[in-house]
Structure 1
Amino acid sequence: MPLHRPRSRPRPSGRLGNRRADRPVGRPALAAAVLVPLLLPLIGASPATARPLPIPPGPGEAPATGAPLPGVGGGSTPAPGNASGSMSGSAPGNASAGIQGRTPEDRLTVVIFDSGRHDGRYELRCHPTFGTVPDPQGACDQLDGQTRWDRDLFAPVPTDAQCTMIYGGPERAHVSGTWAGRPVDTDFSRVNGCEMARWNRFSRLLGEPAHPSEG
């Protein structure tokens, strides 16, 4: 009696037969192809513009985008305490300190009359020194040596002064300007002893008289 052998099932072939073999590879790839476009809008990127996240810059380094760090040259962020972004060399509250501490400008204009030698208009500036008088530095030194902050250096001879009636010559002068913070507008002459002595105190500014033997 012949033995009965069970028939073996034929192996599937064709498209259905290959599906099982392709399943381990096809499903993850298909899932990635579907999920990636869905996730990109959620992270603010698109397939065309997606870029790696930048690495945080080290100390003193500019960000990868090229934007400068705050406080580094080229930035638009203003410095602390200065909303306008402009830099100032002085601290708040000291803006007028430099003006208040400045030395008053010392400048004088001298006009000489009837001297016979030095008639004309002259200028003098002190601190720093320059001018058209014959000896600017000597004139500034002479004025500085007599300057006192509690009195007017160019004050006229008092009207009640007792003066000798000695005529020193026809020379006259007019001085105007500013000295030691005071306005100056005064006349000089040599008509008596007091006026001669006053002229001589400013000889470097007014010049030597034409008749010094009479002074």
Structure 2
Amino acid sequence: MLRRLALSASVSLLALAAAPAATAQADPLLPLPRLIAAPDRLHVTVTGADGGLDGDYTLNCNPAGGTHPNAEGACDKLAAMELERGVSPFEDTRKERAQQRAGKAPMCTMQYGGPAKAHIKGVWHSKRVDVTYDRGNGCSISRWNEMVPVIPAIGRS
């Protein structure tokens, strides 16, 4: 539901932004096919998670599908994260980038969440994605948990 709402809002805003260019053409709907995003395709690999959570999945969004066990939920999560953060769910937020530029490393608890790793590679909104998640400290665990159900929930951390 959120994914559809976000997509509708995005297409509407893009159509309004393109309106001056469209009025110069005979058919004002001509630019719309270029505004509709191509399907998103991600490859998710999870290792070291145990408990049957390891796997190699494809996740397609717009429309949701692939071999991912919860494709609809994963696509909705990514769309909601993007809407909330204002950037791709795979990019750092403006606040995180500013902290990195200032040389301020986040304070992370010395907590080990296990050997699980997740690698997500593919295309999201026509941009290449190649990102890895682990559970090596408190910040990494939070980053992992933020991506559930795209990657599996592991215990209580």
- Scaled to the shorter chain, the TM-score interval is 0.5 to 0.7
Structure ID, larger Rg: 1
Q: CA deviation at 1:107?
A: 1.3
Contact 2:39 2:63 in 1 (8 A): no
Q: Hey, what's the Cα distance between the residues in 1 that align with 2:59 and 2:147?
A: 13
* Percent identity between the two aligned chains: 32
Please state whether the residue corresponding to 1:107 is helix, strand or coil: strand
Q: Deviations over 1:153-190 (max 9, x none)?
A: 11368762211111111110100111133221000001
Q: Which of the residues 141, 145, 153 maps onto 1:200?
A: 145
Matched AA of 1:115: A
1:187 aligned partner: 132
Distance 2:122 2:67 in 1: 15
2:46 counterpart of 1:101: no
1:152 pairs with 2:88: yes
Normalising by structure 1, we get a TM-score of 0.50
Using the size of structure 2 for normalisation, the TM-score is 0.67
SS of 1:104's equivalent in the other structure is coil
My pick for the range that moved more, 173-182 or 95-104, is: 95-104
Please state which structure has a larger fraction of its residues in strand.
Answer: 2
Alignment of 1:137-148 (within 5 A): 137-148=72-83
Report deviation, 1:152: 3.2
Structure 2 distance, partners of 1:151, 1:203, is: 18
Deviation at 1:138, TM superposition (A): 0.9
Against the structure 1 CA distance between its residues 171 and 141, is the aligned structure 2 distance closer, same or farther, given a 3 Å change threshold? same
Indicate which of 106, 109, 124 corresponds to 2:59.
Answer: 124
Return the offset for 1:93.
7.7
Which letter does structure 1 place at the counterpart of 2:42? L
Q: In 2, distance between residues paired with 1:195 and 1:104?
A: 31
Which is bigger in relative contact order (C-alpha 8 A, separation at least 6)? 2
Task: Provide the rounded CA distance (Å) in 1 between the counterparts of 2:27 and 2:79.
Answer: 33
